[in-house]
Amino acid sequence: MKKLKNCGEISFVLGVVFLALGTALMSRAGFGMSMVVAPAYVLSAWIGVIPPGTMCYICQGFLIVVTSVMMRRFRVTYLFSFLSAVLFGLFVDLFGKPLAAFPADGLGARILLEALGIPINALGVAYLFHTYFPPQAPELFVRELSRRAGRQVYRVKYAYDLCSCALSILLSLLLLGRWDWGILGVGTLIVTLVNSPLIALWGRLLDRIAEYGPALPRLGAIFEKD
């Protein structure tokens, strides 16, 4: 099969949209969030006046600062990562509104939403790993750490997911004083275990169908120089 060419920009757009859609689906299912966004959802529930999507990009902004300290440098492209985070947060809140009207009181409907949300979320991450645009803060942190440590990116991603899950549990117990099953439920555990393998699987499939160089070479050169 002939591969599609120059899909870097399309990969970025699809990555942001699928990641946000998967997150919104899991939120509506109520079985627990992806461990990557669970800390933001805990903080949103604790503060009470900041929507989850907004809190997501606030937390990602903080993670970009952590990445800069870790790498001992600040790149202009890190600002683009924050823009990506803002777009993600806006799409999460956008998808959340129609999904809130979806009848998901029954167990079957909730399982369906979760079953759709988990692989869609992983597909979004895989697309973001296949674009020359700087990824969102969690993927940026994973990518930079894997380069610094000389480790495979999917293995570093798995370790990051486990740490994020542990942080979510700690924040929930300390700030909310309880275990919030809507944020940290069986779905969180499932995602923690299967997310990294799913991302790797999606990544191999994406490699078969397209090449992800820039359709806009001048724009791609800007990010390559930085």
What's residue 22's pLDDT?
A: 93
Report how far apart, in Å, the C-alpha atoms of 79 and of each of 46, 65, 67, 69, 74 are: 27, 10, 12, 14, 9
Instruction: Please tell me the distance from the alpha carbon of residue 196 to that of residue 159, in angstroms, as a whole number.
Output: 9
Say whether 4 sits in a helix, a strand or coil.
strand
Q: Is the pLDDT of residue 164 over 60?
A: yes
Q: How confident is the model at residue 226 (pLDDT cuts 50, 70, 90)?
A: low
Asked whether the predicted pLDDT for residue 225 surpasses 60, the reply is no
Looking at residues 155-164, what average pLDDT do you find? Answer: 84
Q: Is 210 helix (H, G, I), strand (E, B) or coil?
A: strand
Contact 138, 60 (CB under 8 A): yes
Nearest to 142 by CA among 207, 209, 200: 200
**pLDDT for res 145:** 85
Sequence-ordered list of residues with C-beta below 8 angstroms from that of 102, at least 6 positions apart, any chain: 28, 109, 113
Structure tokens at 124: 């979004």
Radius of gyration for the chain, computed over Cα atoms and rounded to the nearest angstrom: 17
pLDDT for 173-218, tens place per residue? Answer: 999 888 888 888 888 888 878 888 899 899 999 988 887 777 777 7
**Digit-coded pLDDT (tens) for 62-99:** 888 888 888 877 777 788 888 888 888 889 888 988 88
pTM above 0.85, yes or no: no
Q: Does residue 164 contact residue 37 with C-beta atoms inside 8 Å?
A: no
Exposure of 177 in the CB half-sphere (CA atoms within 13 A)? 0
Determine the Cα angle at 99 with ends 9 and 104, to 5°: 135
The pLDDT value given to residue 222? 66
